[in-house]
Amino acid sequence: MSSREIRIAPSILAADFSALRDELASIEAAGADWVHVDVMDGRFVPNITIGPFVVDAVRRCTALPLDVHLMIVEPERYVADFVRAGASTLGIHVETCPHLHRSVAQIREAGARASVVLNPATPASSVEPVLGDVDQVLVMTVNPGFGGQKFIESTLSKIETLRRWIDERELDVDLEVDGGVGPETIARVARAGANVFVAGTAVFGAPDRAAAIAALRRAARH
Ligand code: DX5
Ligand code: ZN
């Protein structure tokens, strides 16, 4: 059966890293479902963030599942490290994986849920052959690399296509969106078919994080 459970996954890219333990406690208390962790290497994307060492520290600060988003070249070299560090879900960009089917199997064998991630310019068809082998598809709704960017509208039809395929085949695959997701955009991506919502600025930048998460969840239920 296809899963439509709504999950809000705040991205710690927008958190205060000098107080990471408090930031994690704050979103956990505010009702977050997952913690989204953005790993960037300065090669696949222009920005550099964190590695397995910090993921391990994050895991020790929260009971929430970690949704780890790898924006790195040759991600297969680091799958085992990130799963060992505590990734519940591990996402790899299709643009970085010439052997996508093998890399997805590698994630599951290591013991995590496998997620495949598409850049805004990458078509839905690039993941169609592995849809039955993954636990999640993540559609980037901004170009990866930075928080706080503007939502790209043209990604909506790709979300609709993927939702149709998932439902037609009755797959148990989550459809996640990431980038520029907030109070103004979440209803539209939910209507298009997404059920997992990454939100950095919209949660960590809000004066009341519990209210922000509750409002996102309400809007996502449309
Ligand atoms: C961008 C990251 C996102 C980012 C989202 O490359 O993958 O997870 O943190 O940030 P917002 O929600 O602020 O657009
Ligand atoms: Zn992300």
Q: What is the pLDDT of residues 80-106, one digit of tens each?
A: 999 999 999 999 999 999 999 999 999
Q: pLDDT tens, 124-147?
A: 999 999 999 999 999 999 999 999
Q: How far apart are CA 111 and CA 90, in angstroms?
A: 10
Whether residue 162 is predicted with pLDDT greater than 80 in this model: the reply is: yes
Mean pLDDT of 58-77: 98
CB of 181 sitting under 6 A from ligand 1: yes
Evaluate: CB of 193 within 6 angstroms of ligand 1. Answer: no
- Taking CA atoms, 52 is separated from 9, 82, 112, in Å, by 19, 5, 14
- Which of these is catalytic: 16, 33, 38, 174? 38
Atom 6 (ligand 1) nearest CA: 144
Residue 28's closest CA among 83, 68, 69, 65? 65
**pLDDT above 80 (res 26):** yes
How many angstroms separate the alpha carbon of residue 148 from the centre of ligand 1?
7
Provide the pLDDT for residue 222: 75
Closest approach atom of ligand 1 to CA 182: 12
- Predicted model pTM: 0.98
The Cβ of residue 184 has, within 10 Å, a number of other Cβ atoms equal to 11
